[in-house]
Chains A and B, each alone.
Chain A
Amino acid sequence: MPNAILDPTGTATTSTGTSSTGKQAAPRAPRPVSLQGKRVGLLINTKNNARPFLEEVGRLLEDRYDVTLTQRTKVNFAVPEPENVIKELIAENDVIITGVGDCGSCSAAAAADGVVLESAGVPVAAIITESFIPTADAMAALRGAPGYKYATTAHPVAVLTEDKVKERAAQVLDDVVALLVEPEKVEE
């Protein structure tokens, strides 16, 4: 019998060539029926224009739903937040919006933060640019949440003028809200 060819990945591989860590599926947080009066956390990843983008989303939510905003910048845009920060985010907020994932590591980190916070019971809307859909999807799958939903905006964001940033924030607003709430079903 010939020798087997050894697997260099240390995992079972799928047909896409990406590997799965075999973790249990991560749960999705229960949604409020509305954002009315909720505490909304903005987790800003420090990338260019991320702050004005999220601040504008926050401002629009204040106008529309009378939300209370909290704000925090990511410790390191490239990697998921450490456990102590996650704990504080959970304590301080009812829902969280994070972004803008506009690079290889930060888009993946946005998805990873989203999955972790969802598991802890807080709904998240991560915003990434369209160029990074594959990497956000791959990271979510790695974290046990294949098909994890986030909001997207066109790439690039970093070089937009102030007015354009506001325009983009307004455009993505409905998607962000839809990710964070689950309106009560009306009985027929």
Chain B
Amino acid sequence: MTAANTEGAADIAAAAPDPDEAQRAIEYCYEQGWSDGLPLVPVSKPLLDQFLATTDKDPEEIIGSLEQVGRDVNVYLAAINAAMAGCKPEYFPVVLAAFEALMRERAARGGGFQSTSGPSPLIVVNGPIRKELGFNTAGGAFGPGFRPNATIPRAIGLLVRNGFGIHPHVLEQATQGLPGRWQVCVAENEEESPWEPLAENGGVTGGVSAVTATLTRTMEFVDNRHTPNHEDVLRDFQDTISRIGSQIFPLSSVALVLCPEHAQMFASAGMSKADVQNWLLERCGRTGAELTSMGKAEVNRKGFRGEYDGDEAFHKFLAGPTSIPVIVAGAKNAAISMVVRIFGEWSGTSVPVVEK
């Protein structure tokens, strides 16, 4: 060891955390039943205070209630769970906006977190906050690898577990759940999107940072880099969206997470976001006979809003623009997009991020 290293040893010892103590603290958190299965950041009062300092909200303010389980979540609990999830304090306003957006969903308030379908939020972030906090706005949009994208949805999951007390096998009854549960937070690739950001469709205009959230059941890719004809590509989306397996009610919803290449192809053909939505709204669906042949007679007989026009009739699956929110995300390096199955329906609103 050189003299310089010897002199520096004391400083290094002071600066480097004690791994044995850290491990004990992590194990303590596991023992309390707080974890989603992965290690948690043990939260102390000084760390909590850093989170609370990022918002003007009163720590006691209730930001979500689940009447059926008799539990409320306040800002204080949200901050602890966000810190435990690995968020940085400056992410906390985004966590608060994401939770508010999610709790606007009828399905989230009405027993979704207890459901056998085991849904998980799709969280979408828009505006300058994406760059400020270092969100991934490019390739690998669904993760992992980027702290805000990874820890913010985890914070929401921990809040549902700990704040609402909804634990797997107890009040949470997911049959299988879905891959990526509590892990999906997409920062829209606004720079390469030809259209307005999702937040604008959700009512937050002027480029203000905002979060949108909806519950989802899974997703499926559409890889179509095989044709210059945009209508061929739209038909490929139509085919995937029109699956019967996910059809459990007369109407359903999907989020279309388009890669920049697909989005730009549609835009180059003169299509607005609304044009793409309308094209698909008109065409996604199946005949009554097809539904019946797969044992989904009840789904159609119960009514497509009360109107079952017989086996030969074509039954549209999507009700309107809020049944098919369109987001642009990922890298412009291949024509690969994602159809995300929404659980219930999107509230159609976005929540501004309020920084102190």
Listed in ascending order, the chain A residues whose CB lies under 8 Å from chain B are 3-11, 13, 16-19, 21, 23, 48, 76, 78-80, 103-109, 112, 132, 134-135, 138-139, 142-143
Contact = CB atoms under 8 A, between A and B. Distances in A.
A5 B44 contact: yes
A5 B35 CA distance: 14
B43 A8 contact: yes
A78 B110 contact: yes
B71 interface: yes
Interface stretch (B26-34, B131-139, B200-208, B218-226): B26-34
Contacts of B172: 104
Interface string B151-168: 000000010001101010
Interface stretch (B76-84, B238-246, B256-264): B76-84
Contacts of A103: 115-116, 173
Nearest to A20: B165
Given A8-B84, A10-B74, A105-B114, A17 B33 contact: yes
A134 B174 CA distance: 13
Residue of B44, B48, B165 with most partner-chain A CB within 10 A: B165
A10 B77 contact: yes
B171 A80 contact: no
B45 interface: yes
B77 A135 contact: no
A8 B163 contact: yes
Contacts of A6: 43-45, 48, 80
Interface string B106-140: 00001110111000000000000000000000000
Contact of B44 (A3, A76, A105, A106): A3
Interface of B: 25, 28-29, 32-34, 42-46, 48, 67-71, 73-74, 76-77, 80-81, 84, 110-112, 114-116, 158, 162-163, 165, 167, 169-174, 298
Nearest to B44: A3
A41 to B, nearest CB: 21
Contacts of A5: 25, 28-29, 42-44
A132 B76 CA distance: 32
B170 A79 contact: no
Nearest to B298: A48
Contact of B46 (A3, A9, A138): A3
Given A79-B68, A134-B169, 19 more contacts: A3-B44, A7-B80, A8-B84, A9-B77, A10-B74, A16-B33, A18-B167, A21-B70, A79-B67, A79-B110, A80-B67, A103-B116, A105-B112, A105-B114, A105-B115, A105-B173, A108-B69, A139-B68, A142-B70
A107 B81 CA distance: 28
Contacts of B84: 8
Contacts of A106: 111
